[in-house]
Amino acid sequence: MLIYKNTSLKFKTLIHEYAHAQLHHKDSDMQNLPRGHKEAQAEAVAFIVSKYYGLDTEPYSAGYIATWAKDIQLAKQAMKEIQHVAQGIIQEIDELMKERIKELRQIHESSKDQDKNNKNEKDKEMQLQR
């Protein structure tokens, strides 16, 4: 459980920092928002993306967002602003994973073919021994 929790928090933190890069880069309209607003946005993105992949970071994320937002209206505004960014990050990860999944399927199919060939060879040996 501890390993899962640590991995979840590392993934969430990575997405949090990537969200900052997506939302607050030098050409962004949101570059000059107050720090609390930026942190609430980035953590909200991290929470949504983590949740999409089955990782529950709510106990940490909820407190983090509340601490930085300091008011419910700011938290709600940040949630609206991050929906597009969260969806974009999910699409990027899914695209990266699609290639990896394709590779794993090929390995699996190759392994199945090898197992089938091995079974056929054993069957032939058994018939010859009779």
What pLDDT digit, counting tens, does each position of 39-52 carry? 999 999 999 999 99
Distance, CA of 30 to CA of 78 (rounded, Å): 11
How do residues 20-75 score in pLDDT, each as one tens digit? 999 999 998 889 999 988 999 999 999 999 999 988 888 888 888 888 888 777 77
Please report the pLDDT score of residue 108 as a whole number.
79
Please report the pLDDT score of residue 16 as a whole number.
94
Residue 79, pLDDT above cutoff 50: yes
Name the DSSP class of 34.
-
Q: Are 38 and 29 in contact (CB under 8 A)?
A: no
Please report the pLDDT score of residue 1 as a whole number.
47
Distance, CA of 106 to CA of 112 (rounded, Å): 10
How many other C-beta atoms are found inside a 10 Å radius of the C-beta of residue 65? 23
pTM of the model: 0.68
Please report the pLDDT score of residue 42 as a whole number.
93
What DSSP letter does each residue of 67-126 carry, written as one string? HHH-SHHHHHHHHHHHHHHHHHHHHHHHHHHHHHHHHHHHHHHHHHHHHHHHHHHHHHHH
Q: Are 64 and 89 in contact (CB under 8 A)?
A: no
Helices (H), 53-71: 58-69
